[in-house]
Amino acid sequence: MTSSLASNTVFHMERGSAPHDVVKAKLALKPAPFKSNQIPLAFHRSSHTTGAPEKKKSNLVDRSEYFYSPYYLRKTGEKENMGSEGSEGGGGGCSRKPRFLCLHGFRTNGEIMRKQVGKWPESVLENFDMVYLDAPFPAQGKSEVEGIFDPPYYEWFQFNKEFSEYTNFDKCLEYIEDYMVKQGPFDGLVGFSQGAVISAGLPGLQAKGVALTKVPKIKFLIIIGGAKFKSPAVAEDAYSSPIQCPSLHFLGEMDFLKPYGLELLEHCADASVIHHPKGHTVPRLDEKGLETMMSFIDNIQKILAEKDQH
């Protein structure tokens, strides 16, 4: 699997119901070389407004200099604004939408996660400014979503069979921080599967000063099919104290990671939970789940409004 620009700039932007994403972690082969300036393209979604993506460029460009959205391709030097203007229906009086960086599952990509999250109703999505980032390393083995979602596929880092030893983990953290510096600020993280494990661990790593030292403090988390880090060295820093920022957790009754998601939940000081009957997937929101989500959004808007007033 190559990671050329051409393979990363052609994506299907159609909307629709996507099949469930079932991702089981497997032992990775030899990791691909990593260069800090080779940043895959990311997807920016501020609303469901219509618009066609810009046509593929025929000339090759340095991937680290460009930022891709469904609506335009432009240099990263032109920083994103803080977020789209918030809707009046939020109730919290926040003047902008909270901006979230979305980290996809193992051996998938940012566009796949955009489609997965796109199953949520517009009443939810309109309250967020979401950016979908591709992981730094091309998949080093078969993806469980082949035949369901189009390639290319990526992974955030590699690990052994026991999930206790990581390869390229430090490079993964540097890569995420570099992107957040260039395209931030971000208010929070949304993570699914391997992306959820990273997202849930980053606040603790940031508090210990071992990750995200150049960006503002993470204020909110949305964790879908998550778990704790298994590496003792990483876990010691990530969970030395409870996760203090408000977090929303999705727990699937058929998810093989549910027991580990419950362990993570116990470590969170301000957590809300959405239970769903599915497996390891980004689920649709039923009536109860939607109510919990909207309550979480109200809390975000209230916190940001209070912060803006000060």
Is residue 13 domain-resident? no
Q: Is residue 93 part of a domain?
A: no
Structural domain boundaries, residue 196: 99-308
* Positions in the chain short of pLDDT 50: 1-41, 43, 45-92
| Residue 201 domain-assigned (yes or no) | yes
DSSP-derived 3-state class of residue 283:
coil
Q: Is residue 36 part of a domain?
A: no
Q: What is the pLDDT of residue 309?
A: 79
Angle between helices 194-207 and 169-183 (to 10 degrees): 80
Determine, yes or no, domain membership for 74. no
Query: Does residue 27 form part of some domain?
Result: no
CATH of the domain at 103: 3.40.50.1820
272 belongs to a structural domain: yes
The predicted pLDDT at position 20 comes to: 38
Please check whether residue 105 is in contact with residue 113, taking contact to mean a CB–CB distance below 8 angstroms: yes
Q: How many independent structural domains does the chain possess? A: 1
Per DSSP, the residues of 190-256 read EEETHHHHHHHHHHHHHHTTSS-TTSPPP-EEEEES------HHHHHHHTSS-B-S-EEEEEETT-T
Query: So what's the pLDDT on residue 79?
Result: 38
Residue 4 placed within a domain: no
